[in-house]
Amino acid sequence: MDEDRLTALEMLAAEQEKIIEELSAEVTRQWREMEELRRKLDRLTERFLALEEQTAPDVPVTKPPHW
């Protein structure tokens, strides 16, 4: 009886260890993907700002009407 309980606990511990390793690998994969997406977003933001700057009309420097 005790041997059966010990075997069941060992099997449970082995299953949990496998699941923890799988979850850890998935978290690592997702972290890398998020970092890649963050870098892409940064590059796109820089490109957008550069294009916006190129297309923005020049604002003339004039005196306010009350001067």
Helices (H), 1-67: 2-55
- What is the tally of structural domains in the chain? 1
Domain assignment of residue 64, yes or no = no
Give the pLDDT score at 56.
75
State the pTM of this model: 0.65
Give the pLDDT score at 67.
62
Domain coverage including residue 48: 1-53
Judged against a pLDDT cut of 80, whether residue 59 lies above it is answered with no
Residue (of 3, 29, 1) closest to 37 by Cα position: 29
Give the pLDDT score at 32.
98
Q: What is the pLDDT of residues 4-36, one digit of tens each?
A: 999 999 999 999 999 999 999 999 999 999 999
Strands (E), 1-67: none
CA distance 38 to 42: 6
Domain assignment of residue 10, yes or no = yes
